[in-house]
Structure 1
């Protein structure tokens, strides 16, 4: 995103540019309309004593890089070409983000020197960055993907700190072991940063390329997964989310012995080692205790599905389902989320992008608050190490 297409209010960036742009921020409560698509905020049931000044909003958005849209035009053959045009989409994406006014933005699939990547922005007048880590998965043999981690401190908050991770997990549905390894590595790095900065709460945002019914989701939500109970080629659940399958127009092709097939699926020692870190161990684990903000905040039956997750966060000609999440650890709680939309509304627009949605994904936006227990326990550690944050361009190379 080395250009100036995205102008955000009072934001700094973990990217090629660092800039401050002033803008009116009173549009926080507006809804977004797009040919019948309307998104609304849903409040959580939470302790009303949580101070409003300790709340913050995080957005995660796979923005469909221009190169991806061009190289995979078959996914958008039913979308008017004007909605695919990058000049138009970049304005729509910017308008969407202005409207929701998040304090921290995590973008995936951004355009740069390579086709995929991540970028993170934050409001410089609300957070200061204390530490960071860039993850180039190719350096550890885990394909050409990237992730990033930043440690923030809320200004004027007496050491209320936060670790935010941003990831675009490998797409390939057949490589479940690589997906597990990428998430496991990010979680481990996030835990290390959390401990370094006084057990700061963690948020993991991104496109995880895995559905709520999948083994990958179970791994994230339960912190462990016995991989021998799953076929690695369907571990992400993506193959069951073609629109015809989701809408019931095509019967599921897997038979009654699907579970048995998974049990008997042959994992090589190398694949087991990739997934778990040990070729002799079939249990993949990560150190974080995570919950999904959208699953925590109850939505309506028209927008929510398995595990309370959105029915869909992405829609194109070959996929209709949920792959995007905002995971959080103890120490913070979600106070509200920007609800997604119903399947019927998505069908009405015929696919994404559309008139006022600039990507083939929907942005996830959640407001969080530091919990009371965390507020009391983090007025410490004033001498924690501080690291000067340099500007980075986090790309797949």
Structure 2
């Protein structure tokens, strides 16, 4: 990162006069691009494992003047089964890069004040803290080093970040560096075994899209998981490129699994379950979707479970208005190994009335994409 990010990080890590998270007034909304004292990572790291609920309350207080947030509920697939403490909660979310939201995306119905980082940082953290995922996959992250990494590290998350080589954020004046994909995991639940940053290729030619692929060991069961976060090429006309990028990502995942599925004797161990989370920029009828559905990794898309027949994706995971018109469609997915993992619960999606006539982003919600949150468990 450049000098601007270093300066922001310095602002973020300044010492507090008091180590209380509960002393700030509800109106504490500083237009300074640096984070506020309530998100000070020095304090969070000193208080390893501090209660995320305290930080969540402070975010809510700082946003006290905003419209009500979306009230989303979990749909439990086995109504008679009580939520297990061993469930693995996975969250997928394109959080909207700050530079793109303010500079290039042109959300014509969204007030500029709703796009300011002084508000959005609290809304983003509020969403994460509300659902407290064990695995968090994010796209369009351009405030990793000065915000998300240090704050979430103070709450017990380890992470890896892969920036785009030619991020469009860099063309926006006053940007905070390139955007990219970030993958976080809770260290009380998982141990890191391996992680690779991938620049996706098409016909062996490197592209501008990336992925983070991580191998984890579940501390409670000893079982391994391969988790990937990615963001494929946007816009119509690039369907062939998305398909090639998806195939390249699957190849990298299979290579990492192969690396970890043989013990020193050379005897294969049981296959490793997979989560692949991302903004695919692809509707379900696209070739890249079909490629993942037909993968030898035996993948299924978790959010189909919300439909009555269990076969249909939601109507939308993104809903926005740009000068070219209104876009309401499904582009985001959590793919999982259906033979090794079961979906226990899914966070429902807000309806049209909740989202409102101006769509996303808004004063209530910081991104044009909705978060997807699922609880999974290992199959015996």
Structure 1 position 27, deviation (Å): 11
Q: Say whether 1:356 aligns with 2:364.
A: yes
Q: Say whether 1:39 aligns with 2:72.
A: yes
- In structure 2, the partner of 1:216 is 288
Aligned counterpart in structure 2 of residue 63 of structure 1, from 90, 95, 99: 95
- In structure 2, the partner of 1:332 is 341
Aligned-residue Cα RMSD (Å) equals: 3.2
Matches within 5 A, 1:1-397: 3=9, 22-24=50-52, 35=68, 37-45=70-78, 48=81, 52-74=84-106, 76-111=107-142, 114=167, 115=169, 116-137=179-200, 140-157=204-221, 159-195=222-258, 196-197=260-261, 198=269, 199-223=271-295, 287-298=296-307, 307-317=311-321, 318=325, 319-329=327-337, 330-346=339-355, 348-372=356-380
Structure 1 position 185, deviation (Å): 1.2
User: Aligned partners of 2:193 and 2:111: how far apart in 1?
Assistant: 44
Asked if structure 1 preserves the Cα contact closer than 8 Å seen for 2:74 and 2:345, the reply is yes
User: Aligned partners of 2:367 and 2:303: how far apart in 1?
Assistant: 20
Secondary structure of the 2:193 match is: strand
Asked if structure 2 preserves the Cα contact closer than 8 Å seen for 1:142 and 1:178, the reply is no
Greater CA drift, 348-357 or 115-124: 348-357
Aligned length: 288
TM-score (norm 2): 0.68
Structure 1 position 344, deviation (Å): 4.0
CA displacement, residues 148-207 of structure 1 (integer Å, 9 cap, x when unaligned): 1001111132x2111001000011321222111111111122122233244210000010
CA 1:345/1:307 → structure 2, altered by over 3 Å: closer, same or farther? farther
- In structure 1, the partner of 2:159 is none
User: Aligned partners of 2:276 and 2:116: how far apart in 1?
Assistant: 30
Q: Write out the 4+ residue segments of structure 1 that deviate beyond 4 Å after TM superposition.
A: 1-8, 25-28, 33-36, 46-49
TM-score (norm 1): 0.65
User: Aligned partners of 2:377 and 2:54: how far apart in 1?
Assistant: 20
User: Aligned partners of 2:244 and 2:79: how far apart in 1?
Assistant: 34
CA 1:45/1:137 → structure 2, altered by over 3 Å: closer, same or farther? same
Secondary structure of the 1:70 match is: helix
Structure 1 position 311, deviation (Å): 1.4
Segments of 5+ residues of structure 2 without an aligned counterpart are 13-34, 57-65, 144-162, 170-178, 262-268
Segments of 5+ residues of structure 1 without an aligned counterpart are 11-16, 224-286, 373-397
Structure 1 position 73, deviation (Å): 4.5
